[in-house]
A and B are shown apart, each in its own frame.
Chain A
Amino acid sequence: MSHPSPLTKTEIVDRYFLEHRAKLLDIAALLDRIDRASGDDKIDFRIEALLECAKELHSEEVGRTERMLLLLSDKTTEPIEEAGMKGATGAVPPQS
């Protein structure tokens, strides 16, 4: 059984808008920072994935978070031969 938010749509916007406006500006600032920096002009796979996810912001269907997470997920199903590293990158590296 779900527990719908007691808040109305307007109340949710009133409460969270400024915080998320700032988060969106942070993403724009990150992209600008990368463009201004020296180094390889080839777009990093993580940024590519981020921009692909951003398209979900234009969706009108509930489930944007889940769909973004799926875009960022390894879809293979078999265990890999060896764990070469301990950490994760946050997006699927090109060789996967």
Chain B
Amino acid sequence: MTYIDPHIHMVSRTTDDYQRMAQAGCVAITEPAFWAGFDRSSPQGFYDYFKQLTDTEPKRAAQYGINHHCWLCINPKEAEDVGFAREVMSLIPEFMSCSNVLGIGEIGLNKNSKNELTILEEQLVLAETHNQLVLVHTPHLEDKLKGTLLIMDAIANTSITPDRVLIDHVEEHTVNAVLDRGFWAGMTLYPDSKCTPQRAADIIESVGSERLWINSAGDWGPSDPLAVPKCQVEMASRGHTSDLIQKISYDNPLEFLSQSGKFKVS
């Protein structure tokens, strides 16, 4: 079945992964800017990364018929140094006109610190000023609940409407709060943390399928670039309809991402 993986870090994956994803039905992906597993030593490192996301990676994806899109930001793990973060943020407007840039992301919080929050607020202003969609990273494990609430409050202090924000990495204890406030919610399918395909299917059964999507967030750590089709199979094997599976793995991301005016599936 055709699908969109709306959150995957292909700069950390092999070309074989593109091939397998295409074979499994992937037609489009979006790649948020993230922490590469180490702190970059200069803003120039981010400039090169943004070039990779807007120039190199789309060409690599196109070889397998996959449409590549991206989001730009300074990620929360490298936002503790406010001065450094601001230098990186100053590079972003130059790239916003690139044809595959959908918005600002994945911004958010990591350890819920004051400096992370300051940079989150400033990147929300950047999105607001340039009328960009927002993709939000919520913190890991014990920090997720608190961070999710702080992030939603920060967004509420801007003019950005919730329907233009996707809050990612929701789990059972955050999904309802996110949806109740009108945001879109993403479930990340990971082997050890976040949601398994089984739990994601459980959440869909419990809260429904409105403003909800699934993604692999495949990267350099334990993750699976085929997690989305595996969740499709999980839902199908439970007897869910193909309409429901398509809504979660194709229609919903298409609806949210199309607000950018740049998202393409063919």
Contacts and interface: CB of A to CB of B under 8 A. Distances in A.
Interface of A: 1-7, 16, 65-66, 69-70, 72-77, 79-92, 96
Contacts of A76: 146
Given A2-B206, A69-B173, A74 B114 contact: no
Contacts of B89: none
Contact of A74 (B142, B206, B208, B210): B142
Majority secondary structure, A binding face: loop
A68 to B, nearest CB: 9
How big is the B interface, by class?
A: 35 or more
A5 B114 contact: no
Contacts of B141: 72, 88-91
Contacts of A96: 142
Majority secondary structure, B binding face: helix
Nearest to A67: B173
Contacts of B172: 65-66, 69
Contacts of B208: 1-3
Given A66-B172, A80-B114, A86-B77, 14 more contacts: A3-B240, A72-B141, A72-B142, A73-B144, A74-B143, A79-B116, A82-B80, A82-B113, A86-B110, A86-B111, A88-B140, A88-B142, A89-B142, A90-B193
A80 B205 contact: no
A1 B102 CA distance: 29
A81 B113 CA distance: 6
Contacts of B5: none
Contact of B238 (A1, A6, A66, A70): A6
B246 interface: no
B6 interface: no
Contacts of A1: 208-210
